[in-house]
Amino acid sequence: MNESEPPTEADRALKARQRAMWASGDYPAVAAEVFPNLGEVLIEACGIHAGQRVLDVGAGSGNVAIPAALTGAHVVASDLTPELFDAGRQIASARGVELEWREADAESLPFADGEFDVVTSCVGVMFAPHHQDSADEIVRVCAPNGTIGLISWTPTGFIGRMFAAMRPYGRQLPPGAQPPPLWGEEAHVRDLLGDRVTDVVVRREVVRVDRFDGPREFRDYFKANFGPTLAVYKAIGAEGTADAADKVAALDAELADLARQHDVGEGSFAMDWEYLLLTARKRA
């Protein structure tokens, strides 16, 4: 377990809010419908294969863990929000594969030092608030010479810009917490991992998102299904102020406009969402 200071009441409250946030909406649908192949990208980059012990951190409903298990690897899918596991178990059963589902905080993983040959996270660990704690845990549970593989949305890409647009409307981060898109900055992740890793390979890639008919359809889908977006709109409503409706309308317009700015489709609506793909080997 992480040997840092025990969690404060504020930390526990923050984690409870995060769990509730990701349990709201329908994140399994978002992962399956909006960026369904992102997990396979990470699996290929890490070279996951049969017989390996694999831990996926912030696994959600298993967009990395399930295809990793299909390679014959022994996979543990861990997440702070076990409410997402039911959907994952159904997907795994339909695909005829078994893996372990484990409730776990990325900042204090309940696994032994060096327990896994590969440790991955696909737009998952980036949402844990204390980045260094999470990075320390990822390195700790990875075996010497093992592989670490991470996909994170970048600050300058669509999702990073969406979080920046939502930030003024939602609950502010408590002291010590860091914004998720920082994991999409190469220098930041290199600093987090430090000299404990070697053979670092970093690429900026995009995933083409063409599920939506237009910017407003994207916005409405995320308002209904994506936990962080739901949380921001809920925070506006909880203010109980006279201008709440104006704030909702303003955020509606900002999100639709942001999607419109990222339209790269020719004759149909499509966006390219940028992410950082990093792989590394833990030093022996």
Q: For 22-63, write each residue's pLDDT tens digit.
A: 999 999 999 999 999 999 999 999 999 999 999 999 999 999
* Dihedral angle, C-alpha 190, 195, 201, 205, nearest 10 °: -10
Pair of tokens at residue 117:
């040959």
pLDDT band at 2 (very low <50, low <70, confident <90, very high): very low
Place of tokens 């900042």: 107
Q: For the CA atoms of the chain, what is the radius of gyration?
A: 19
* Residue 171, pLDDT score: 86
| Contacts of 161 by beta carbon, 8 Å cutoff, 6+ apart | 155, 258
* Residue 11, pLDDT score: 83
Q: For 223-267, write each residue's pLDDT tens digit.
A: 999 999 999 999 998 887 889 999 999 999 999 999 999 999 999
Query: Per this entry, what is the length of the chain?
Result: 284
* Residue 241, pLDDT score: 84
Using the predicted structure, report yes or no on whether residue 137 has a pLDDT greater than 50: yes
Q: Where are the alpha helices (DSSP H) in 52-193?
A: 65-70, 85-94, 131-141, 158-166, 186-193
Pair of tokens at residue 153:
């949305």
* Residue 134, pLDDT score: 98
Q: Which phi and psi angles does 69 have, rounded to 5°?
A: -65, -30
Q: For 67-99, write each residue's pLDDT tens digit.
A: 999 999 999 999 999 999 999 999 999 999 999
Q: For 159-194, write each residue's pLDDT tens digit.
A: 999 999 999 999 888 888 999 999 999 999 999 999
Using the predicted structure, report yes or no on whether residue 3 has a pLDDT greater than 70: no
Using the predicted structure, report yes or no on whether residue 154 has a pLDDT greater than 70: yes
CB atoms < 10 A from the CB of 260, how many?
Answer: 15
Helical packing angle, 186-193 and 131-141, nearest 10°? 60
CA 178 – CA 114 distance, rounded (Å): 27
Domain boundaries, the chain: 9-210+271-282
Pair of tokens at residue 236:
């506006």
pLDDT band at 12 (very low <50, low <70, confident <90, very high): confident
Using the predicted structure, report yes or no on whether residue 117 has a pLDDT greater than 90: yes
Q: For 263-278, write each residue's pLDDT tens digit.
A: 999 999 999 999 999 9
pLDDT band at 6 (very low <50, low <70, confident <90, very high): low
Q: Are 196 and 282 in contact (CB under 8 A)?
A: yes
Q: Which phi and psi angles does 6 have, rounded to 5°?
A: -60, 150
The fold adopted by the segment(s) 9-210+271-282 is Rossmann fold (3.40.50)
DSSP-derived pairing of the beta strands 53-57 and 116-122? parallel
Return the percentage of the chain with pLDDT > 70, whole number: 98
Return the percentage of the chain with pLDDT > 90, whole number: 90
